Amino acid sequence: MLKVTDLHAGYGDSEVLHSLSLHVDEGEAVIVLGPNGHGKTTLLRAISGLLRPTAGNVELNGTSLSHLRAEEIVAAGVIHIPQGDLVFPEMTVMENLLMGAYRIEAWRERKQKFEQVFHLFPILAERKNQLARSLSGGERRMLALGRGLMGKAQILMIDEPSLGLAPLIIEQLYETIKEINQSGLSILLVDENADHITVADRVYLLESGVLVREGSAEEMLRDEALLATYLG
C-alpha cells in the first residue's frame, strides 16, 4: 500500500536518511523503532511532504507522492500525526476534530467519524465543548489522534504517541491504536521505546538514518542483545 524506495532526506547540507526503503501493506501496522535523533521524525516528514526528499520515491497504491504538496498527500489519504500536543489550544475539542475533516470527502462523513472517535475516546465526548488548552497531556494526545481519524485516512502515520505521558495513559493509547488498526486502517508508527511493539505486524530498526533490521515484534523482543545495543 505504502512503498518507500531509496529515500534520501535531510536538512540543508546534512543528510539524515540514507537510501531508506520500507513498505506497509494494506491493513498492516508497522513500527519503525530507533533511538532519539536517528531520523524517525524525518522519515514521516519526508513521506507526508513536510520535508522534500532529495532522492528516492514514495508511493501510495502504486501512485507516486514524491512531487506532491503536503495538502495533496493528505488528500491522497496519508494522515500524519506529529510528535507532541499540536492541537489548536483556543479551539474546542469539537472544533479541533472538525479541522481534521476539512476535505470535502471527509466532511461528508464527519458524523460517522465523530461516532468512531467518541467510541475510541469517550473522554473527548465528555470534553467536546472544552477548549483544547484545558485538557490534560494524555487527552490532548487523544485529540490529536482523533483529529487524524476525522480525515478519512488510508494510512495513519503516528510520531511517538507515548512521548511525555504517564504509563497508564500510554497503555490506553497503544490499546486504542491496536483497535484502530484492527478496524482495517493501515498504520506506520515511529517510537524509541520497544515496550509496545507487539501492536505491530512488523518492526524496522533504524540506526543513523539507515534501516538495519526488519522482523516481527516477537523476533525483535527475543533478541535482547540487539535491543540493548540500539535502544539501551
Q: Give me 161's grid cell.
A: 504517541
pLDDT of residue 125 exceeding 70? yes
Based on the fold, state whether residues 61 and 112 are members of the same structural domain: no
Tell me the three cell numbers of residue 142. Answer: 487523544
Assign 101 a pLDDT band (cuts: 50, 70, 90). Answer: very high
Question: At which of 152, 176, 192 does a domain end?
Answer: 152
**39 shares its domain with 147:** no
Same-domain check for residues 122 and 162: no
The model's pTM is 0.93
Q: Is the same domain home to 161 and 228? A: yes
Domain count for the chain, please give it: 2
Q: Which domain holds residue 50?
A: 1-77+156-232
Domain finish residue from 135, 152, 169 = 152
Helix (H, G, I), strand (E, B) or coil at 111: helix
CA dihedral 118, 48, 214, 174 (to 10 degrees): -20
The residues, any chain, with a CB within 8 Å of residue 136's CB and separated by 6 or more, are none
- CATH assignment of the domain containing 8: 3.40.50.300
In-domain check, residue 82: no
Say if residue 58 is in the same domain as residue 98. no
pLDDT one-digit tens code per residue, 44-85: 999 999 999 999 999 999 999 988 999 999 999 999 999 887
Judge whether 30 and 24 are in contact, CB under 8 Å.
Answer: yes
Say whether both 161 and 226 belong to one domain.
yes
Structure confidence by residue, pLDDT tens digits, 146-196? 999 999 899 999 999 988 889 999 999 999 999 999 999 999 999 988 888
Q: Are residues 126 and 173 in the same domain?
A: no
pLDDT grade for 231, boundaries at 50, 70 and 90: low
Residue 28, amino acid: E
Same domain, 62 and 162: yes
- Domain shared by 56 and 161, yes or no: yes
